[in-house]
Amino acid sequence: MGLQTKPLEASMKVGSGTVVKRAKKNGSFSFQAKVRKNGVNVSQTFASLKEAKEFITLTDSKILKGESVSALKAKKITLGEIFQDFIEGEPSMPLIKKQRLAKITEEIGNVPLANFKTKGFQDYINFKLAQEIPDQKTKKKEYKGFDGNRTTNAKGEVVKKTYKSSTIRKFYYDIRTALKWHSKINDYHFDSKPFDDVDPPPSWENPRTRRLEDGELDRLIQACEQLYVNVEASKCLIQFLTFSAFRIGETMLIRWKDIKLNEKKPEESYIFIPKAHQKIARKKGAEDRYASMRPELFHLIKNQMMKWKKSDDDLIFPFWAGPHYFYTRFRIICKNAKSVNLTLHDLRHEACSWFFENSTLSDIEISKITGHIELDTLKRYANLRPHKVGAKLWASLERK
């Protein structure tokens, strides 16, 4: 028989609450008292069972009298405890948000809520905006073709990247959402002053303007020859993104049944992108897209990709488990093609630019293809086709 060990945790019912007894590494115990009643959800940890029971009894009494049971405790609780309660109280929270809250907890989790003030919050946001992205803890060596958290500056030096303002903006709202949630659940006043005084970092501070250089697409295609696997698929995906203006995430979810090719009238061909597959699915105004194809995309699918089709329900790009895998592959392709500071999203930017430069489609018509909800985002492309605007103007004058 194996050795039997004492349970590390045991719970007991006390009135309307519960006491959880936990064993510590030093052999002692802690007693966490939890009360959930009439919309009140509070907990506190004590060194003795007696104190835990007294807390539950006192809390019960305050609830019956309609008194607030959390105001005093809220001053002592740390931000880390609040974040943990928030995670446990929202089981459907996305993993990426849990990871951000874990990172925030490492950095400011020991700060008591009573000490969370404007100056400290502003200092934290400023620190994060200037912080270099650290190496992964599990990183042991550099890998060929993978620059990870490094970039090349204007002097040609390889330096560590800093966090984007859009990333720190998520940190900002994660903290705000967690504190607001905790105050609501525990019935105390939410202090919005730090958030009123500190502006959230911009979501799009410096829009990228990177375009493909002359011959760069050909270099990327040629660089795929140096890959060990999925050579032709990689070539097609790069071209697909460059011609379609689609996001990589929604592209990876396209199935053959979503592609409608009309060989007799190719101009009527389109690709169906359901709302649920789009990054902006939860935003107001999001809708299913029936994206028309430019000629290059039509011929790419018809002449090079159709040979992969086996079933209408198959993905058109089943060669990678998801976008993340091709992100890393694309870095290697760019390195082999000697393409500096190029990202997968830049291919979408290139495709959007093409529509403005080579078509007379309106902004709304282009947005139906690209999936932009906010037309203000497309205004950045307006200066790409002044000759098109002039042609429309002269054409309208000649008709008079």
Compute the average pLDDT of residues 242-260. 96
What is the total count of domains within the chain?
Answer: 3
Cα-Cα end-to-end distance for the chain: 99
Give pLDDT tens digits for 141-173.
555 544 555 665 555 666 677 788 888 999 999
381 in the same domain as 247: yes
125 in the same domain as 53: no
pTM listed for this prediction: 0.60
pLDDT at 1: 44
Task: State both tokens at 14.
Answer: 């006390």
Compute the average pLDDT of residues 98-111. 94
Q: Which residues contact 270 (CB under 8 A, 6 or more apart)?
A: 260, 290, 291, 292, 293
- pLDDT for 73 beyond 70: no
176 in the same domain as 128: yes
Q: Which residue has the higher pLDDT, 153 or 316?
A: 316
In a domain, 74, yes or no: no
Q: Which residue has the higher pLDDT, 145 or 13?
A: 13
In a domain, 202, yes or no: no
Rg of the chain taking only CA atoms, in angstroms: 28
Eight-class DSSP state of 9: E
250 in the same domain as 386: yes
- pLDDT for 187 beyond 60: yes
299 in the same domain as 235: yes
| Range of the structural domain that residue 25 is part of | 10-69
268 in the same domain as 391: yes
Give pLDDT tens digits for 226-246.
999 999 999 999 999 999 999
Task: State both tokens at 79.
Answer: 């931000």
390 in the same domain as 344: yes
Q: Which residue has the higher pLDDT, 173 or 190?
A: 173
